[in-house]
Chain A
Amino acid sequence: MEQKLTLADLASGLSRRASVPLRYSEDFVRSFFNVIEDGLMHDNIVKVKGFGTFKLVGVDARESINVNTGERIEIAGHTKVSFIPDPAIRDTVNKPFLEFETVILNEGTDTAIMEAMDVESEIAEVTDLTDVPVAQPMETPEEETVDEDTSVEEKEQVKKQEETIEIVKEEVPTEVVNEPMEQVEKKPIEKEMKSQSAEAEITQPAVCKKCTCCHCWSHFFLFLLTAAVFTVIGYILAEYWHPVTLPKLCSENTEEKASVATKTLTDNIPAKVVTPADSVTAVSSGKEKHVKQPSETLAYPQVEDGEYWIVGIEGTEIMKPGCTLLNFSIKYYKSKDFVNYICTMNDIKNPDIVSLNKELRIPKLKKK
């Protein structure tokens, strides 16, 4: 129903709705817009309840470049009509997307995922917008501390999952449809393997070739199983012997995981195939979250979920009439966002109530 409508269509709609003659409603609609225009001329602003606000906004003169000749030209200042829809009509128009809310992204989420996802969804022709918000919560790492025992457990789980998938796969006759998706999924895993062990590198291309072949599913899963086991072993080795390389691997893993999560929504069956990788990344991202707390911070109270550690005392201030925590925050940190740290440092429960002449210690901060 997306068509270009004119005033006449609007008038006929109105005449039906308000049961007035068409001729009259047309006249009314016309004068509706005329009055808006007159109002703009006289008052610069017209508010229509339920519809929105029309406003005249001045635009300053600015310089620009003629795209054809490359010449500098000046665009003269002018007034333009801005229209801000009323919240009522704004929500009506936005109805299909109304339930979406702004989501806070976790650290380590890469915007490249979204771009990659866009491309994938174009390929698969499954442009479902719900993917994005739903995928976000899944990325939250739940495990804060993971030791080697869990890694081993993960490995066993991986094996079990692989076996179940094998069974599921054989029952489903529509593999042909899923194949392109799977090939895409293999790529991140392959990348990971290269960085971890040479053995895996040898097995992986074989897997990729196999997945184009419809017949050898059992062989394929055998390879996949081996690959997954190598991944886990490689990961453990890397963890023990090369702690320096770990952050790099982690970031790769989280990237992969996010793309995996988005795929889970677009296609159920291949998503199962990647669950082992998923659980591996859950371990790694748990590791990543476990930031070491510097020893010098232990002497001071810390802000939970803060971006900074409190590592010392920057200075002291006496609370005088007219002073606010906000002022101190701006004075010391050039930002009003650090009131929280001052409160924590001085054990202030309510930042709106600070006793007079209280000596405040201003914390020295260090980025986590």
Chain B
Amino acid sequence: MNNKEFITALSQKESLSQRDAQMLVNHLVAELASLFENGNLLAVQNFGQFEVKKKMERVVNNPSTGQRMLVPPKLVLNFKSSPNLKERIQKGGEV
């Protein structure tokens, strides 16, 4: 399901025009981005939890050249699905 199909499905469900749906999604995504930018944690019931996690810097080895590199620290957005969602996917989503 790509973005277009996603917007279509959402607009049908909310009985909106696709343009409005896309506009609202854009606003929502902007809102999400600003939340995560501030390091907040977002928990959505029955869906999962979005969290910003810090990865420490580390040294990696390129096995073929033997070069060692220092990877800088970074903040990464993480998603953890709720047990509920897992269960439902286990039951219905199995393809």
Specify which of B36, B48, B92 is in contact with A92 (CB 8 Å cutoff).
Answer: B36
- A93, B75: Cβ atoms closer than 8 Å: yes
B91's nearest neighbour on chain A, judged by CB, is A41
A45's nearest neighbour on chain B, judged by CB, is B1
- B29, A33: Cβ atoms closer than 8 Å: no
Specify which of B13, B50, B89 is in contact with A79 (CB 8 Å cutoff).
Answer: B89
- A4, B41: Cβ atoms closer than 8 Å: yes
Determine whether A88 belongs to the interface, using a CB cutoff of 8 Å to chain B.
yes
Specify which of B32, B71, B86 is in contact with A102 (CB 8 Å cutoff).
Answer: B71
| Complex CA distance for A103 and B73, rounded to whole angstroms | 12
- A2, B31: Cβ atoms closer than 8 Å: no
Determine whether A5 belongs to the interface, using a CB cutoff of 8 Å to chain B.
yes
B residues 10-57 near A (Cβ < 8 Å) are 10, 13-14, 23-45, 47-48, 50, 52, 57
A residues 87-130 near B (Cβ < 8 Å) are 88-90, 92-97, 100-105, 109, 111, 114, 129
A335's nearest neighbour on chain B, judged by CB, is B64
A residues 1-50 near B (Cβ < 8 Å) are 1-7, 9-10, 13-14, 17-18, 20, 27-29, 31-50
- A102, B48: Cβ atoms closer than 8 Å: no
B-chain residues with CB within 8 Å of residue A114 when the two chains form the complex: 57, 59
Known A47-B6, A80-B81, A81-B81: A17·B93 in contact at CB below 8 Å: no
B-chain residues with CB within 8 Å of residue A28 when the two chains form the complex: 14, 24, 28
A340 shortest CB reach to chain B, Å: 11
B-chain residues with CB within 8 Å of residue A56 when the two chains form the complex: 89, 93, 95
- A6, B44: Cβ atoms closer than 8 Å: yes
B-chain residues with CB within 8 Å of residue A129 when the two chains form the complex: 57, 73
Known A48-B6, A50-B29: A6·B67 in contact at CB below 8 Å: no
| Complex CA distance for A44 and B93, rounded to whole angstroms | 8
A-chain residues with CB within 8 Å of residue B41 when the two chains form the complex: 2-5
- B3, A17: Cβ atoms closer than 8 Å: no
Interface size on B, residues (CB 8 A): 64
CB within 8 Å: A-B pair count: 198
A-chain residues with CB within 8 Å of residue B9 when the two chains form the complex: 35, 38-39
A-chain residues with CB within 8 Å of residue B32 when the two chains form the complex: 10, 51, 89
- A7, B44: Cβ atoms closer than 8 Å: yes
Determine whether A133 belongs to the interface, using a CB cutoff of 8 Å to chain B.
yes
A-chain residues with CB within 8 Å of residue B40 when the two chains form the complex: 1-5
| Complex CA distance for A27 and B48, rounded to whole angstroms | 17
Specify which of A48, A51, A93, A103 is in contact with B52 (CB 8 Å cutoff).
Answer: A93
Most chain A CB within 10 A, of B36, B50, B71, B93, is at: B93
Most chain B CB within 10 A, of A35, A42, A47, is at: A35
A-chain residues with CB within 8 Å of residue B72 when the two chains form the complex: 97, 100-103, 132-133
| Complex CA distance for A336 and B65, rounded to whole angstroms | 10
- What are 16 sample pairs from A and B whose C-beta atoms fall under 8 A apart? A9-B35, A31-B13, A32-B28, A33-B44, A35-B9, A35-B13, A39-B1, A49-B3, A78-B86, A93-B76, A95-B37, A97-B74, A100-B74, A105-B69, A132-B70, A337-B64
Q: Which residues of A contact B (CB under 8 A)?
A: 1-7, 9-10, 13-14, 17-18, 20, 27-29, 31-52, 54, 56, 78-83, 85, 88-90, 92-97, 100-105, 109, 111, 114, 129, 132-133, 136, 307, 335-337
Q: Which 8 A-B pairs have the closest CB atoms?
A: A100-B72, A83-B79, A39-B1, A18-B27, A49-B3, A43-B1, A81-B81, A105-B68
Given contacts A10-B28, A132-B70, could you give 16 more A-B pairs where the C-beta distance is less than 8 Å? Answer: A2-B38, A3-B41, A4-B43, A6-B43, A20-B24, A35-B13, A36-B6, A37-B88, A38-B9, A40-B89, A41-B93, A46-B6, A50-B29, A93-B77, A102-B69, A105-B70
